[in-house]
Every structure is written in C-alpha cells, then in structure tokens.
Amino acid sequence: MSRDLRGKSAIVGTGHAGFGEAHGLTAYDIMAQAAQAALADAGLKLGDVDGLFCTMMEDSMPALMAAEYLGITPRFIDGTMTGGSSFVNYLTSATLALEAGLCDVALIVYGSNQRTASGKLVTASRPPAYEAPYNPRYPISAYAMAAARHMHVYGTTREQLADVAVAARAWAQHNPEAFERGPLSREDVMGARMVNDPLSVRDCCLVTDGGGAIVMVRAERARDFPKAPVYVLGSAAESSHRQISQMKDFTVTAARESGRRALAAAGVAAADIQVVELYDAFTINTILFLEDLGFCAKGEGGAFVEGGRIAPGGALPVNTNGGGLSCVHPGMYGIFTVIEAARQIRGDAPGIQLKNVDLALAHGNGGVLSSQVTAILGSQATV
Amino acid sequence: MTDTDTAGPDATFRKGLENGEILLPRCDDCGAFHFFPRILCPHCHGSALTWHRASGRGRVHTTTVVRQKPERGGNYNICMVELEEGVRMMSRVEGIAPEDVAIDMPVTAFVGEADGNRIVLCKPGRD
C-alpha cells in the first residue's frame, strides 16, 4: 500500500458468530450470522453492502455462493484465495475499491463449521503432486519441519514453543468468547500427544467452528457510524511459495517483506506498535512472525517469548484474544487478527482490554508459510 | 543426459522414475537446476532446459516424524532432502527409525515405490 492510501479507509463494524461449536449450522449460515453482526455493529443493513470480499474452505466459487446466500448483488467482488491471509489481504483490495469509488460499503466475511462438520481441516485444495505420495499431514508436517529447522539453526527449544501456547491460553482465560480457557502449563504442552515432531497437539491451533466479518467505508464518512472508526494505515503482502518444499529458507518467512512495507506505508516502526495480533496456526508461527516483523532479531524469537513476555502483563501484548491456539480457529483464522486488533483500538475487546491503544498490527498467514500479509491499524488520533 | 522430451516436464520426470532414474531439469542459460519440473527456469525464466541424471547425493535439510498408531501403520518420516545439484524435494529416509533421521544427515536418494507409484526415497549415508 502506498503512502497515498494511508488512513483512506476505516473499519466501522466487526462481528463474529458460531465460535466453538455451532451445531446444525452450515459454513454459509455462520458466514451470514457474522455478516449480520458486523453490519449491526456499524448500524448498516445487508442492502447497503455493494462490495464483497470473501473466500471459504468449501467450493471453487465461494464468494458467489456467499453473495447469493446473503441476497446481495455486489458491484465489486474479491474472492482471492491465499489461505488464512486472504482476509488481511482484503483490507488492501477493499481500500482500493472504496477509494476508487467502485464500492461504498465493503463487507469482508468468512465462516466455517469444520469442527461440527468433520472435526478436522476441511479443504477444497488438492495435495501437491510431488508431495502427496509421502503422506504429509496437511498442513502440520510443513510447520513441523519449519520448527525443526529453527530449532536446529538457532537453538530454539520445545520449552520456548510451549511458552507461546501458554501465553495464548493466559489471554484466552480472560476472554469469555475463547473456546479453550482451562489452565495450560509448559509441561502440559510438552507432555501432550506428539503429532508431528517437534509439535505436540498443544502446539497446534484449535479446530472450531466460527465466522467473522468486517465492514469498511471511506475515511471521509467513517465518523458517521456508531463505533469509533479504526483506520487502515498500511497493508502489504508478499507471497513466497505454495508447496513447503519450495520455501527458500525454512526459518525466514515473507513476513519480513510484508511487515517492512506495511510499517513503511503507515509511517511507523515496530517499536511503535502497542498490540500485535499474529496468525498462530502453530506455536512456531508466533516466533517466526515476531522475528520477521521486526519485534526481535532473527533467531531470538524463542528467547523473546520466554518468561511470559508476550502473555498478559508482559512486555509486548501478542494475540490478546487467545489466538488460534486458544480462542478460535475455524479453518482460517486471518480475519480474527483484524477483528481483535480493531476491538483493542476501539476499546471493546472481549477479554483483556489494553489501555489507550492507538496502533495495532494484524498479520495473516496463508498456506504453509506461503502468503504473508501485514496490516497496521490506527485510532482517530493516528490520522 | 537426456534431451527435453516432447511429453512435457512432469511426464518426462515420471518416465525417468519408471526407468529407475531421478532426472532433473537444468537451465541452459543460467546453469541452475530446479525441482519440481516445469517448462521454464524459475531462477532466470529461461526456457531452454536439459534433463540430467541426479547423482543421488544429498543431505537432510529438515525432518519430522508423523505420529501414527501402530495399527494404522505406525510412525513414519517425512523430510526435505537437498540434492547436491541444488534442488530440494520432499522425501522419506528409509532403513532407520523415523526419529533417527537428523538434519544435515548425508543421504542417498534412490527410486523406490509407495502404493504402486515410483517415488524418490532416501537411505542414510553415501553409496
């Protein structure tokens, strides 16, 4: 996003639905409930939506399915599918479409019933031809190999990986919306059933139902809505591969580039960010993204998360809703990084509300560390 | 050394496997190998490619043990092997326990079989 787009669009509504188990509902039902919630939050109606930004785990044309279900005929539609990062990516395309006058009310929306439907990741994507014969577990085998490499090169430990899960749980324990709120210790994580070495089941995100939605408008009218607007100050993407075998360096993600450009567009530094929402599909993700986004040096992510430094009361608040590890993870988590960042800025976070948040970072990850998208959000004071 | 086949890169690679050979495409322009096979060089975007037989010498770049109950076949290894030609691919090290596969371990890649398909597998050490 160029500097010209800084603060040109704003989030004026957020909503979610079906967290945990949404028995009897389809993915599209949950999507629609989230859309209703976000529009109610913004004081708008479905009929006001003329820009739709959506993808789902089901179907090859999910954005069309969603528009049809909602009974809308959007004049701008973006169904770009980059995995869980898609919804952070839509902040860029929604900003462009709004700014160009191609739509006036942008709805970003997602829903999934993967927990009650199957209990595991639902995906319409085919296993890559040159990897499928080895029976990798998609996507955990890829993340496990990234974790193994990080441990080998930088001496990162299983204890440090566990600390990421423990911190996420500590945030979740204060969040009534979070799915997992029981106690969790380092020992619990390390002693849990191994799935793909070095990752145990507690190093992995949840499998839940859930949906999320975001309503965006042009900045010029952002103050005409019930909730305080949250401005998109910068957003940027970088894609590095699709299949894990094609990842150049298993210890460095494209978040290094997406983060650098998003921060530059917003005109801020990592040190200015007050709250960080990262797509934590696995514990290694948080460590990789803290490094690549510039919160610590490469290789120091393990030490950075030790001793409760990213937990409540720590030096840097990370994944304040409990993240994909403990709050919600319905197949793709990306939209919830933006929703929690926006709510922290607005002052209506469901769990621990941090004081006076003006600048937040939301980071989406898609595929197998393949697509990285970073967004910087700000309060009225930042524009 | 084999000439580029009119059959297409994927089919050529698979035909190599049927013949017990690991064939890798190399760019005539920049000299770099790549994998997976495709119709252009992902490094310099040249499209003059020649197939070469891989030496089989490689090293484990990273590895994991997929945990599975014994009644479903037990644990197995998945790794990324880096061949000396400079390409990386998913593979499995056979002949040792999956948890004994270690990063940087020298391995030899060979054409093996899984579920009736010919695939690239590895064994520990160098031939």
Q: What's the CATH code of the domain at B70?
A: 2.40.50
What is the mean pLDDT of the segment spanning A147-153? 98
Number of domains in chain B: 2
With beta carbons less than 8 A apart as the criterion, state whether A132 and A76 touch: no
Task: Note the pLDDT of residue A121.
Answer: 66
- Rounded to an integer, the average pLDDT of A24-46 is 98
pLDDT at A2: 57
Answer positive or negative: Cα dihedral of A248, A249, A253, A258. negative
The residues in B 62-91 lying below 8 A from A, measured between CB atoms, are 62-67, 76, 78-80, 88-91
The arithmetic mean of pLDDT across residues A349-362, rounded, is 98
Residue B25 lies in a domain: yes
Considering the domain architecture, whether residues B28 and B76 belong to the same structural domain is answered as no
Q: Which residues of A touch B62 (CB under 8 A)?
A: 145-146, 148-149, 152, 250
Would you say residue B1 lies in a domain?
Answer: no
* Mean pLDDT across chain B: 95
* Burial of A132: CB neighbours in 10 Å, binned 0-12, 13-18, 19+: middle
Domain carrying residue B73: 57-124
Same domain, B66 and B44: no
What is the C-alpha to C-alpha distance for residues A168 and A1, in angstroms, rounded to an integer? 30
Asked whether residue B70 falls in the same domain as residue B113, the answer is: yes
* pLDDT for residue B58: 98
| pLDDT score recorded for residue B79 | 98
Best residue in A151, A161, A243, A245 for a mutation probing chain B (most B CBs within 10 Å):
A245
Same-domain pairing of B48 and B102? no
| Contact (Cβ atoms closer than 8 angstroms) between residue A293 and residue A88 | no
Indicate whether A1 pLDDT > 60: no
Q: Are residues B40 and B64 in the same domain?
A: no
| Residue-level pLDDT at A149 | 98
How confident is the model at residue A165, as a pLDDT? Answer: 98
B43 and B67 both lie in a single domain: no
B1-9: long-range contacts, CB 8 A cutoff, minimum separation 24: B1/B50, B1/B51, B1/B52, B1/B53, B2/B50, B2/B51, B2/B52, B2/B53, B3/B50, B3/B51, B4/B49, B4/B50, B4/B51, B5/B51, B8/B39, B9/B37, B9/B38, B9/B39, B9/B49
Query: What would the pLDDT profile of A79-134 be if each residue is shown by its tens digit?
Result: 999 999 999 999 999 999 999 999 999 999 999 999 999 876 667 677 788 999 99
Q: DSSP characters for A285-335?
A: HHHHHHHHTTSS-TT-HHHHHGGGTTSTTSSS-B-TT-HHHHT--SS--HH
Within-domain flag for B2: no
Contact flag B90-A245 (C-beta cutoff 8 Å) = yes
Higher pLDDT, A120 or A366: A366
Same domain (yes/no): B34, B77: no
What pLDDT score does A210 carry?
A: 98
In this prediction, residue B127 carries a pLDDT of 74
pLDDT value of position A3 = 54
Do B85 and B34 share a structural domain? no
- Domain contains B117: yes
pLDDT at A58: 85
pLDDT average, residue stretch B79-106: 98
- B114 and B83 in a single domain? The answer is yes
pLDDT at residue A259, rounded to an integer: 98
Q: Is residue B101 part of a domain?
A: yes
User: Across all residues in chain A, what is the average pLDDT?
Assistant: 96
Same domain as B31, residue B67: no
Residue A376 has pLDDT above 80, yes or no: yes
For residue A124, what pLDDT is reported? 67
pLDDT mean over A44-67? 96
Residues of A with CB under 8 A from a CB of B: 129-131, 133-137, 141, 144-146, 148-149, 152, 193-198, 243-246, 250
Q: Tell me: the pLDDT tens digits for B24-82?
A: 999 999 999 999 999 999 999 999 999 999 999 999 999 999 999 999 999 999 999 99
- A266-284: average pLDDT: 98
With respect to residue B4, please indicate whether it lies within any of the assigned structural domains: no
User: What's the complex ipTM?
Assistant: 0.95
pLDDT value at A266 more than 90: yes
Token duo for residue A75: 């004049």
Residues B120 and B67 reside in one and the same domain: yes
Beta partners for residue A87, in sequence order: none
All residues of chain A having their beta carbon less than 8 Å from the beta carbon of residue B36 are 129-130, 243, 245-246
Pairing mode of beta strands A209-218, A106-112: antiparallel
- Co-location of B84 and B109 in the same domain: yes
- Burial string for A100-130 (b: 16+ CB within 10 Å, else e) reads eeebbbbbbbbbbbbbbbeeebbeeeeebeb
- Confirm whether B77 is domain-assigned: yes
